[in-house]
Amino acid sequence: MARLAPELAPASFKELARQIADMHLPAFGMTLQAVVQATESDALSGHQIAEVILHDPALTSHVLRAANAAYLGYGGHSKIVTVSRAVVVLGIQAIRTVCISALTIEAMGASGRFGPRVQDALGRALHAAVQARDMGLRRRLTKDAAERLFVEAVLGSVGEMAFWCFAGDYAQRLDMAMQAGMPQAKAEQDTLGTTLRQFGRDLLQAWNLGAILQNSKEVELATALSLASQQGWDTVEVMRTTQAIGTLLKQSDDETLASLKRNADEAVSLAVALGAPKTLPYIASPSEPPPASAATTPDEASPDAVAARYPDPNLQLQLRTLAEMGKVAVTRKDLPMLLETCLEGMHRAVGLDRCVLCLLTPARTQLVARMAMGHGAADLRQHFMWDCGAELDTLLKPQATHWFTEASAAPAFIRQASGTPHCFLAAFTVDLKVIGLFYADRKPSGRELDAEAFEGFRNFVAQAEMVVRALPR
């Protein structure tokens, strides 16, 4: 991670947070904002939150891996293979926790000149987050409130991580002071004139997320413990912090210490599940850390494969996702999540670049895109809106499916909206009544559509129709 170029160096340290937010972490900031807003909004549903996650292939990989990790309590149960199912099983706040942890690791986890300091800060953040969440639960806070403590602990350290990643000369000066033996708190004040925690606040403010930091007592104590325990669990500072936590929780020191040690082990499992094994030396676990490979099963795709820009067809994942479609919906109120899972399967399992679901308006006068998945699908969705007429009616026959090619091109209005003659179309039919249209193509990657992809596309349409028919009204 190179230092800031001289012509880009901020005029003062106070301006550095804004510069890092704008120049080095814009994608992180935007995705973080989208996740927070999606999980805070009462108006957004589970399928819309899943859509936010699926826009980032690497985040999708992390979420699925963590959702199947033992630390979340689902070890040994049927494997979760879609984000839509993960949202249903884990709940919105738990998904938010996983997303923010994964985003932070993805953005800050790379090695560099100050890589060990980044991993130290990240390890302490994950440790503190698990401890803070457990304190919240033991104080009988709601599960959502406890998850918010987790998020506060992780993002409370994001400034320190970003500083060591991108602060250039400032980071070098602070590093030299600390290597000379100066305590970190004093080194920060003497070198920077402020603290890295305040720097983190400034960074979050740059993304309009400053309200996440609430100065919670649980987070304060958890953060202190994550630092003190690095020197051992039998130190004076750990015992002092343990007593303070015990007082907050109204329990004995022995009981408190036992639970804190269990939480440290859980933090190690979390780090492994999220693909951050380099943080393990900095999480003071009383037990031997598990191998980094423990987070995956032999048949699980590697993160790189899962996060591939254009997913390859995966028959095993198709079968699992088709089965999962029967689990995400209980009543017809759950249709959005079912249809999101269907599109996710077409994209990630069948290997189609762009997938769109259009639905007829209640008056059946227009066909309008309602959901989209894949690369550039959001832009495609804006162009998929047509008035009903004879040409559209020919496509919307019950159970009709179409594979359009150069020789047998899609209708002009489809080609104009999609920019390609090569696509799959299928009428979405429920109770012998057409209610919409599925669309898919491979235009962004330029890969050819083939019979295997068409069969997978039709299977997902058929499964969606079958599940809808079986749902109680």
For residue range 235-270, list pLDDT tens digits in order: 999 999 999 999 999 999 999 999 999 999 999 988
Note whether 70 and 316 are within 8 A (CB). Answer: no
**Residues 339 and 377 both lie in one domain:** yes
Tokens found for residue 266: 């859980």
**Residues 335 and 445 both lie in one domain:** yes
Domains identified in the chain, total number: 2
Of the given ranges (41-50, 360-369, 458-467), which has the lowest mean pLDDT?
Answer: 41-50
CATH number at residue 182: 1.10.3210.10
Q: What is the pTM of this model?
A: 0.66
For residue range 276-312, list pLDDT tens digits in order: 888 999 998 877 554 444 444 333 444 444 345 688 9
**Residues 191 and 319 both lie in one domain:** no
> DSSP of 202-261, one letter per residue?
HHHHHTT-GGG----HHHHHHHHHHHHGGG-TTSHHHHHHHHHHHHHHT--HHHHHHHHH
Count other Cβ atoms within 10 Å, centred on residue 451. 8
Strand order in the sheet with 366-374: 385-387, 366-374, 354-360, 433-441, 423-430, 401-404
Is residue 306 a part of any domain in this protein?
Answer: no
Is residue 154 a part of any domain in this protein?
Answer: yes
For residue range 424-444, list pLDDT tens digits in order: 999 999 888 999 999 999 999
User: What pLDDT is stored for residue 309 in this prediction?
Assistant: 66
**Residues 368 and 277 both lie in one domain:** no
Final residue of a structural domain among 245, 260, 295? 295
- Output b/e per residue, 355-386; b: 16+ Cβ within 10 A: bbbbbbeeeeeebebebbbbbebeebbeebeb
> What is the average pLDDT score of the chain?
84
- Which SS3 state, helix, strand or coil, does residue 312 take? coil
**Residues 49 and 146 both lie in one domain:** yes
**Residues 177 and 109 both lie in one domain:** yes
Is residue 303 a part of any domain in this protein?
Answer: no
Final residue of a structural domain among 295, 328, 363? 295
Is residue 301 a part of any domain in this protein?
Answer: no
Strands (E), 392-453: 401-404, 423-430, 433-441
Computed on alpha carbons and rounded to an integer, the radius of gyration of the chain in Å comes to 25
User: What pLDDT is stored for residue 15 in this prediction?
Assistant: 83
For residue range 314-347, list pLDDT tens digits in order: 998 999 899 888 888 777 777 888 898 899 999 9
User: What pLDDT is stored for residue 275 in this prediction?
Assistant: 78
**Residues 392 and 288 both lie in one domain:** no
Segment 100-122 shows an average pLDDT of 83
Is residue 302 a part of any domain in this protein?
Answer: no
The highest-confidence range among 62-66, 114-118, 135-139, by mean pLDDT, is: 135-139
Is residue 121 a part of any domain in this protein?
Answer: yes
**Residues 248 and 175 both lie in one domain:** yes
Is residue 99 a part of any domain in this protein?
Answer: yes
Does residue 85 surpass a pLDDT of 90?
no
CATH number at residue 353: 3.30.450.40
Is residue 440 a part of any domain in this protein?
Answer: yes
Q: Which domain holds residue 75?
A: 6-295
**Residues 96 and 35 both lie in one domain:** yes
